[in-house]
Each structure stands twice: as structure tokens, then as C-alpha cells.
Structure 1
Amino acid sequence: MIQSPGKKLREGYFDPEHETMSRDELAQLQLERLQATVKKVYRSVPFYKKALKARGVEPGDIKSLDDIKKLPFTYKQDLRDNYPYGLFAAPMDKIIRLHASSGTTGKPSVVGYTKKDIYNWAGLIARCLVMAGGGKDDVVQVAYGYGLFTGGLGAHYGAERLGAAVVPISGGNTARQLMLMQDFGSTILACTPSYALFLAEEGLAAGVDFRKLPIRAGVFGAEPWSENMRRQIESKMDITALDIYGLSEVMGPGVSMECPAKQGSHIFEDHFIAEIIDPDTGDVLPYGQRGELVLTTITKEGIPLLRYRTRDISTLHPEVCACGRTHVRMKRVTGRTDDMLIIRGVNVFPSQVESVLLEFGETEPHYLLVVDRKGDLDELEIRVELSEKMFSDEVRQLEKLENRIRHKILSVLNINARIRFVEPRTIPRSEGKAKRVMDRREL
């Protein structure tokens, strides 16, 4: 296996039978589970029975994996329209857990889990932790939020399923996070990447020497992040930083996970069927092409979903990984179709801006995109923190840096942006998902 920088990770599999099965075996398993799922929702969920009938599709029409194209898409709005339990395929006396999406206006999208769903979910997170070198002797510090958000409890149950010790500290209280990380000997950190970077900065400022701590890996997700941010985290904390992907509607974290080869996150295809589609036409795109990720659950009992439109932009690659896992890999999400900014006809993702900014060592990896409208034209201002060293530099040097960044943004994104430098530590830090965009056009 390709080894990442930082402390050495153990290798292995949590579920080698499914993680390394041949593509032919996997395809047969997926087909059987897809057929069972379509039958289940046709029989138990009026919404799906109506949607399938509208397309002239019956469960018996699903004879191959390619027939998944016959199935209707499911949208986040469908969950809201059927709030709270309208898409559940299991009766409430079989539902043992309820979660709901965070950060939405109006009614949230609600998901229910049966006992088997929770067991499967914990197994998927256990796979993820093993991919991060985890084992029974590890101490997993869970700094994702607990509650209706799936992150905290998802990571928690997975760590327990693995047999590791869990520190259920949840998000926030950074000084306490650092204290317990040192006192409890945490070996794996689970949180958002932006909060990991914040922890690293606060720890270094407080004199914490991460090289002397047992912590060796981070399982970071819930928001898009760049390769440059990974390097920042790994350098500051002396760990291997790995990407975990998931979403509440489909399962929660644990839909896919990156191994130390860092060639994309393995989608656990024995539980999910992944497609990439053109977000405008809905047409399925071949492997390697960039588009919107669509997921179908094939083991969920509580709320199975057919062809769920994630709105996340990625690509899929089916080649066997250096780690030996055979499941298809998704490239890190570069943005969402619904958080994409369109500025003077140009599509801009915050992660693209972040990647450019972090190429310059003179700035910190904290930024804010401010979009405004002057007359009939949109304008983009990028506020970025200077490093302590650069902040005390002379004006001429700062002007040169501003020009370099502006020209780089223009060459990469094909848009003119105003660069505004701000003092170190003045852009608000996040203990959850980082706020990267202020769109004043909506005010």
C-alpha cells in the first residue's frame, strides 16, 4: 500500500469478503439487492409506486444493472414534501433511530433507521476507521456534532463496532479538545477538515507538539476540502488526513472512504450503487467524466432511496486500488450544483479558490468569498488572511502578492476578482462546516 506522510498506519480490512470481491461478484450482488429494493419500495412506499407507474416500470422490469436507468430520480425536495415519514419503507415499530438533515430552511429531510440499518452503518464506519489504520486498541476522538446530524453518532457507533475506545466530545470547546487529545492519548480524530485545521492552529499556538502525541490519522468530512488543505493539516498535526463522504439522506458518513493511497474514496458498492450524471440532462456519464453523483441504497430498510440526486460534483474510477479494494473510487467532491456560484456567466466553486490560495505560502488557509452586484454586474471579492510574517511586510510586497493571486485566479477560474487581505485570525473560524461564501446578491 502507498504510505502517506505522518506516522505509519496499520494496513488491513474490516470486511475483506466484500471489500475485495471481484467486479463480477459485486455486480451480481448489486443486482440481487437492487431488485429486492425496488420490490420493497413498490410495495411499501406510495410515493415510489406512483413514480414507477408514471414511468411504466414494474419491479420485474429490473433485469440487469443497466436497467437502473429506468428508475426515477429522487430529490431532497421529495423527502421534504413527504415529511416526516412518507418515504419510510418500514413501519414505525421497526424504526429505532431518527436523524434529520441540518442547515436547511423550513422542514428538514427526515431519515429513519431500523436495527439492521444501524448495524450496517456501524460496519461501514468501522471499515472507514480500519482504512485509517484503526483497530481495537485505538482511541477515536469524535469531534463531529452529535444529535440530529448524522456525523457524531455515525462515527461513534462505528468506532464501538470496531472495538476502539470512543471519546464522544462532539464539536466545539477547542481548549478541552486539545486537553483530552493529549491526556486520553487519542489516536484518530474525526471532525470536519476546517475544524481540524483550527485545532491544529490553536494547538500550535498553545505549544502543543503534535509530533509527540499518539494521534496519527484524521477522518475528515461533511464539507468539501482541497488537496492543499490536506497538506496543511498533515504538516501541522503530523498525521495522515483522509476524506470520508456521506450524506444523511443516503446513510450518513460512511458511504465512501479514502484509503492512504489517496486516489479517491472507495464507495461501498455492496450497499450503494453509484452513478455520475449530467446535472442538466440527467444522462448517465461514463467512468472518468465529471458530473453529479447519484446514489441508490440497496440494503436500507428504513428509508431506501432510488437514484438520489446528491448535488455533489465528482468523478468515478473503477480500477482496482493499490490498497487491494475493488470498489469504485470517487474523486473528492469539488463542489455542489446548488452551492456553485455563477459570476458573470462563470461557474465558481469555493474549493477551486481555496486550492489557488493555498499555492501561495504567504497566506493562511482561511478565506471568504463575497459576491455583490454593482449596477448590473456581479463582483467577486476574495478576503484572505495573511500569514503573520507577511502581515508585517511592506506595502509594495503586499501589492505584488495581490497581483500574483489575482492573475492566478484569472488564469484558473477565468474571472477577475478583487483580492482583499485581512489580518491574521480575523476571518471567523468554524467548529462545524466552514462558511466560505457571503452572497450579498440575495439580500
Structure 2
Amino acid sequence: MNKAPSPILRVSDLEVHYGAAQALFGVDLEVREGETVALVGANGAGKTTLLRAIMGLLRPSRGTILFDGRDVTRTSAVGMVRRGMALSPEGRELFGTLTVRENLELGVLALKLGRSEINRRMEEVLSRFPRLAERIEQQAGTLSGGEQQMVAMGRALMARPRVLLLDEPSLGLAPLITDIIFDTIHQLSRSGVTILLVEQNAARALEASKKAYLLAGGKIVHQGDSDRLLADSRLRRAFLGAGSEDRPEASRIGAAGLTNIRLEKPDMSTQSFMPSFTTEEELREHQLRGLQWTVNHAFNGSSFYRTRLEEAGIRPGDITSLADLRRLPFTTAEDLKDGYPFPLRSVPFEQIVRIHASSGTTGKRKVLAYTQKDVDDWISFFARAYEMAGVTPLDRVQIAVGYGVWTAGMGFQLGCEKIGAMAVPVGPGNIDMQCQFLLDFQSTVFCSTASMALLMAEEIHKRGIADKINIQKVIYGSERSSVSMRKKISELFGGAELFDIPGMTELYGPGTGMECPEHDCIHYWADYYILEILDPDTLEPVEDGEWGEMVVTTLCKEAAPLIRYRTRDITRIIPGRCSCGSILPRHSRIKGRSDDMMKFRGVNIYPSSIDAILSGIPGLGSEYQVHLTRDDASGRDFMKLIVEQGEGVGPERRMELMKETVHQIKRQLLVTTEVEIVDYGSLPRSQRKSQRIFDNRIKDDIV
């Protein structure tokens, strides 16, 4: 068995006084090389005093501090830096009138390095904090709190410390900035930096560390593995002692002021994922900045976009107003397929953390890549969709959509967890399990396609369990639905409130907008993408309120940005503010498509896919029709394929051809269809484009 490495830092029986007042009482602490150790406690517990004593900024009155086996108890702060220790202090302690560069260089002042070495270390720090590179000559006092914290950490990292002391790195920072800071801490830990982390936000500190010490009243009251403290209910009970939800102060941790260490969900009542702007002008300014960023990012990062933009005579600096959007070239689904497997890629491969693909089933799928920021943005605005529908941390969300390479299941689950609700990830189908989970887990929200929702509603009615389940909301997407279909789903679910959620793989995935509680529109996330409604034939803008094709341009998508992407979905802009009070603009539910693509049982099917299958079956002709219908009783969709047999083929082959067609459609498109073989020449011909798709599923209005 391998012996554990000796501690690089060991504190023994340490006491510190401020005059006659004693701050630390016999503190013992160890930090091993390469690990992150958290020191958590309430204000006044002695955390900062301990760090300052270790760093040589305070003289202990008793005890020893060993660093790499050497006694450094009386060593000065300069001496500690030279031995390989650095401190990022509470409150940052920057020189506000000095630039970012000058503040960073102070981190190596004690080391007396040459200019070339300082520059190398500066490049390393700026690579960790790219935002600082943009502000390198800016006075530190003019930076935001989060940026100042980056400077403080960067200054400490300039010394390339063997042990990094971090004192309250999240103090006073917004949640999103805190996320960035802790992401950096995780990265430093993974790169082998030894860290002693002082943090009042105990939950974040424990998540970021391997081992933890709990400090109260200047004494270590407990120590142990951080993950056990967070996950082991028996250990938590041992820590919490007699404490209860009503009286946390009665516990050992509660008495130490550490009531933010918890396994239960935090209070999210004040959490919101809605945008911060309050006026349309602020939104337009945000969109212009995003449009300029996207064009510059795509031009410099994607050979495809660079070629397209140069052909259109556009360079990044040419975008000076939102009106310049119309000068940009269009992007289509064909461009994505032609660029397979990494279409529109605008970042290096090492920045890609995930791919998702559309639900097409033949040929080259539309595959989209994601950076971590793309994923985080998607999760955040998916949580916004749940928030608009009134989902809270008290809800239990049963997710009945597909998982895997498709975006649906992943998006619904991560957004659910982000908002703090309980996810019940069942996946599609399996009606028995769906019903059992509705009963056993008392799910309050059901997420699925429209047809799956109707199928479940019928099954709930058939089994007579509508009064035994607790579904209050149904969130559905992926396909069109009519007013009568929505009404039927709601009634059979016992009066559940329905919310239509749009989305597409190209535009992150589902969750790019949400039906609001007024139920007369879809609010779309105009802070993440610009939506145009164009005439599908002329590609000219239509007036608000008129139906046209939805064209989208992303504002912050990194891995695969979209510039004027033709979605082929037909909708219309609804002018004016919604009565729900949201400033976010809105469009109608999707009415149809401007191409021949059809969605059948969650699968995108193009006529070209059917063409390819039929042309590969000897004995069949080239003419066919697809008829889509929906059974009102069961809510199930059905497909019938009528195909001509080839010229000169006898009727004795019809049964063989029918069976082979059913088999190939099932094998290649993953759907089951009824097939009828008819005589050659019996289907109508046209001098123009023949109508081959007959979708009779929607018989009444969608709004």
C-alpha cells in the first residue's frame, strides 16, 4: 500500500493574540501537496488570523508552522513568498491607482526576476483570466469586484506558489462571478496547485476541496473529508448533533455559524434567470453588442463564415447598427450537413465539451458543438423557461423526452436541476413506468412531446388515476399542437396548465423560449438571439403580425454560432408588451414549415430521405405520397405511404415490395408506416413540384 505523502504545510498547537485578546487556541492543521483544503467558519472564527499567521503577517504567541519540513514560524512574509507561498487576501488589497499589469507585477517583487521571466508568468496568469488581458492597462480601482478578485488571485499566482492561500475569494461577488472564481479554483487544483481555502460559503468551499477543517471560536471543532461532509447523512447527523431545521443553533455547526452547510436545497425564492434590462433600448444595445461579437467571432474563428462574409463584402468592423443584420448572408440546414461532422465550428477542438445532433435519421445529421459557456448559457435560459412557467424548487419534474445525442432530455434535466426542482428522468415511452412514477413520486410537472402528452393523458383517463396523481403543469414541445388538442390534454390530466416550449438543436436545443401564463404567445430569449420573420420566397422582412419564416442569429454562442440561420419554421411576431409584464418579445406558436420536412413521433423526416430509401428498392417507381393523420381517441399519429410500383413490374410482386418498404422505412427512419403499392402512373403528375406530403393531423387553429 502506498504511503501518504508528508504534509507540505503543518500547523501545530498554534496560538495567536491581539494584545491581551486571544484569537487562536491550539490550532492543528495539515495540508498535503497537490490537495485543496478548506477552512470554514463564521465571521470572527479566526480563519483570516490563521492564514495571516501562516503567511508571516502575524507573529504566533505559541506553536509551530512547518513548510516543506522546515520551521517557518518566525519567517517574514517576503521570506514565505521566496519559499513558495502566496496569499490572495480578504478584501483583495489592490493598489487602485496602479494598472492591472502593475498590480500583477507586485506578486513577484520579492523574487527579483528578470523581465522575460515576468512576462512569461504574466502570460500564464492572463491565460487563466482572459478578462484581465482586455483590461491590462486599466487602473485596478476602476474594475468590478469580480475583476478585482481575479487580479488579487493573479497577483498571488505570479509567484508560482507551491502553496496558495485564498482568503474569502467569493466575498461580495455576484453568483455568476462566484462561479467563475470557483471554476478557476477547480482548474488550479486539477493542475496540481496546493490550496488552503478560507471561505464563509461553506458549501462552495467543501465542493471545491478534498479535506475540510471547521473552525469556531478560534478552535478546530471538526475535520474530515469534504465529500463525506457533504454527502454522508450519518456524518452530517454527527456534526449537527441536536440541531434541527427550526433550531440550527443547537448543533455544533449551527453554533459555529455554519448553517450554510446543508444538504437540503438552498432558498431560491429570490433567484431569477430573467434578463436584467428593463427597457427595449437596453435590449437593442445588448443585441448590437452581441451581433458585433458574433460576426467578429465567426469571421476570425470559422473558415466557413469567413468565406461567406468575405463573399458578401462584410468585415467585422462593418457592423455598426442592428440594421446591418440584413447585410449578412444566410446559413441553412444544408450548410450544416455539408460541414459534417463539425459544421460552423468557430473554436479550437480543445474548447469543445459536447456535441448534440438533430433527430434526422438518414444521411448526415445536423451536428452542433458546444463549449462549456454554451452549455452553461443553455442551462441558464432553460431554467428561465421553467421560471416563466412557474416551476419552483418545490416541484417534481417528470421528464419523458429522449436522452442521448438528442438535446431534449439533457436540456430538460439540467434546466430543472438549475432551478432547484427535483428531476425524475424517465425518458420517452414505457407507459407503465410513467404512470407508476406519476403515482409514486407525485410528480407535479410533466415534460414531453405534444403527442406523448396526449397519449399519457388518454392512459391516465383509461386507468382512472387522474385524481390520484399531482400533475399541475404540462410542458411540451417538438411538434405542433392545436387548440382542441391542448384542451383535451389539460382536461384528461385533471386540469393541468399547458406550456409550449420551443427549441431546435441548431439553437442550443429546447428552451429557447416559453409560453407565458397568459397562454397567448411564446416569449423568446432576445438577449441570446435575434429573431427575424421573413417572407420565405423573397427573404424580405414582413410586418409584425404577419406570418413568415423564422430566421435566427445568435449573440453569444461560441462553438457553432448562427448567422441568419433559416429555421424553416413559420410563425409571426406579436407586437407590443405582453400583459404578463415581461419585457421579452414574443411570437406565435409554430404554425408549420416553409419546406417539406415533417416531424413524425419525434423524428424529423425529409422527402429526400424517403426518396433515397425508395430508390434503393428494385421494383418501385419514383412517385409516392405520404399521408399523416392523428387518431382523435388515442392521440397517436399514423403515417401511410402510397408508392407506385415500377414501370413493367407485375402485380405479383406487390406483397414483396410492400414488406420490403415497411422494413427499410423502419430500419432507416426508425418509424413504422403503413405501405400501399399502386399501379405505375396512378399518382398525379404536375409540371411544377408535385405535392407529396399531406399532413392532416392539425384540423383547427394553433392559437
Alignment TM class, shorter chain as reference: 0.7 to 0.9
State yes or no: 1:231 paired with 2:231: no
CA distance in 1, matches of 2:332, 2:340: 13
Secondary structure, aligned partner of 1:96: strand
Aligned twin of 1:216: 472
Aligned twin of 1:14: 272
Match of 1:87 among 326, 344, 348: 344
State yes or no: 1:156 paired with 2:156: no
Once the two structures are superposed, the pairs formed by residues 182-193 of structure 1 within 5 Å of their partners are 182-193=439-450
Decide whether aligned partners of structure 1 residues 131 and 254 sit closer, same or farther in structure 2, where only a CA change above 3 A counts: same
CA contact (8 A) 2:273 2:387 kept: no
CA distance in 1, matches of 2:627, 2:373: 38
Decide whether aligned partners of structure 1 residues 437 and 123 sit closer, same or farther in structure 2, where only a CA change above 3 A counts: farther
What TM-score does the superposition give when structure 1 sets the normalisation length? 0.75
The structural deviation recorded for 1:17 is 3.7
Once the two structures are superposed, the pairs formed by residues 357-368 of structure 1 within 5 Å of their partners are 365-366=635-636, 368=638
CA contact (8 A) 2:641 2:673 kept: no
State yes or no: 1:326 paired with 2:583: yes
State yes or no: 1:336 paired with 2:587: no
Task: Show CA shifts across 1:173-208 (max 9, x none).
Answer: 011011001111111111101001101111221221
Secondary structure, aligned partner of 1:201: helix
Aligned twin of 1:260: 517
Aligned twin of 2:195: none
Amino acid at match of 1:239: A
CA contact (8 A) 1:264 1:329 kept: yes
Amino acid at match of 1:232: K
Amino acid at match of 1:226: S
Q: Aligned pairs, how many?
A: 361
Amino acid at match of 2:475: V
Match of 2:537 among 256, 263, 280: 280
CA contact (8 A) 2:627 2:641 kept: no
Decide whether aligned partners of structure 1 residues 164 and 320 sit closer, same or farther in structure 2, where only a CA change above 3 A counts: same
The structural deviation recorded for 1:131 is 1.7
CA contact (8 A) 2:458 2:634 kept: no
Match of 1:108 among 361, 365, 370: 365
The structural deviation recorded for 1:224 is 1.2
Aligned twin of 1:398: none
Amino acid at match of 1:63: T
Decide whether aligned partners of structure 1 residues 350 and 107 sit closer, same or farther in structure 2, where only a CA change above 3 A counts: same
CA contact (8 A) 1:141 1:166 kept: yes
The structural deviation recorded for 1:435 is 8.7
Match of 2:283 among 14, 26, 29: 26
The structural deviation recorded for 1:302 is 1.2
Aligned twin of 1:299: 556
State yes or no: 1:172 paired with 2:424: no
CA contact (8 A) 1:319 1:326 kept: no
CA contact (8 A) 1:12 1:130 kept: no
Aligned twin of 1:7: none
Decide whether aligned partners of structure 1 residues 213 and 26 sit closer, same or farther in structure 2, where only a CA change above 3 A counts: same
The structural deviation recorded for 1:284 is 1.5
Amino acid at match of 1:151: A
The structural deviation recorded for 1:317 is 1.4
CA distance in 1, matches of 2:498, 2:448: 11
CA distance in 1, matches of 2:540, 2:332: 16
Match of 1:138 among 381, 390, 395: 395
Secondary structure, aligned partner of 1:292: strand
The structural deviation recorded for 1:370 is 5.0
CA contact (8 A) 2:446 2:475 kept: yes
Amino acid at match of 1:50: T
Secondary structure, aligned partner of 2:499: strand
CA distance in 2, matches of 1:154, 1:119: 11
Decide whether aligned partners of structure 1 residues 258 and 299 sit closer, same or farther in structure 2, where only a CA change above 3 A counts: same
Decide whether aligned partners of structure 1 residues 179 and 299 sit closer, same or farther in structure 2, where only a CA change above 3 A counts: same
Amino acid at match of 2:541: V
Amino acid at match of 2:474: G
Task: Show CA shifts across 1:114-164 (max 9, x none).
Answer: 111111111111111112221111111111100111010001100011011
The structural deviation recorded for 1:105 is 2.0
Aligned twin of 1:417: none
CA RMSD of aligned residues (A): 2.9
State yes or no: 1:315 paired with 2:610: no
CA distance in 1, matches of 2:318, 2:465: 60
State yes or no: 1:63 paired with 2:320: yes
CA distance in 2, matches of 1:99, 1:371: 30
Aligned twin of 1:37: 294
Aligned twin of 1:195: 452
CA distance in 1, matches of 2:673, 2:273: 37
Decide whether aligned partners of structure 1 residues 134 and 435 sit closer, same or farther in structure 2, where only a CA change above 3 A counts: farther
CA contact (8 A) 1:13 1:130 kept: no
Decide whether aligned partners of structure 1 residues 438 and 138 sit closer, same or farther in structure 2, where only a CA change above 3 A counts: farther
Amino acid at match of 2:303: P
Secondary structure, aligned partner of 1:218: strand
Decide whether aligned partners of structure 1 residues 340 and 172 sit closer, same or farther in structure 2, where only a CA change above 3 A counts: closer
CA distance in 2, matches of 1:72, 1:104: 28
CA contact (8 A) 2:378 2:411 kept: yes
CA distance in 2, matches of 1:87, 1:253: 20
CA distance in 1, matches of 2:528, 2:593: 23
Decide whether aligned partners of structure 1 residues 133 and 434 sit closer, same or farther in structure 2, where only a CA change above 3 A counts: farther
Task: Show CA shifts across 1:232-288 (max 9, x none).
Answer: 111110200110000001110011110110121101000010000111111121211
CA contact (8 A) 1:367 1:436 kept: no
The structural deviation recorded for 1:314 is 0.4
State yes or no: 1:127 paired with 2:389: no
CA distance in 2, matches of 1:104, 1:308: 21
CA contact (8 A) 2:643 2:675 kept: no
Secondary structure, aligned partner of 1:293: strand
Task: Show CA shifts across 1:300-327 (max 9, x none).
Answer: 1111110110010100113111211112
The structural deviation recorded for 1:58 is 1.1
Secondary structure, aligned partner of 1:249: helix
CA distance in 2, matches of 1:92, 1:294: 27
Secondary structure, aligned partner of 1:231: helix
**Larger-gyration structure (1/2):** 2
The structural deviation recorded for 1:96 is 1.0
CA distance in 2, matches of 1:302, 1:185: 39
CA contact (8 A) 1:369 1:436 kept: yes
Task: Show CA shifts across 1:385-425 (max 9, x none).
Answer: xxxxxxxxxxxxxxxxxxxxxxxxxxxxxxxxxxxxxxxxx
Aligned twin of 1:206: 463
CA distance in 2, matches of 1:52, 1:229: 44
The structural deviation recorded for 1:368 is 4.4
CA distance in 2, matches of 1:309, 1:124: 22
Unaligned 5+ runs, structure 2: 1-268, 599-625, 645-669, 678-682, 684-691, 694-703
What TM-score does the superposition give when structure 2 sets the normalisation length? 0.48
CA distance in 2, matches of 1:96, 1:206: 44
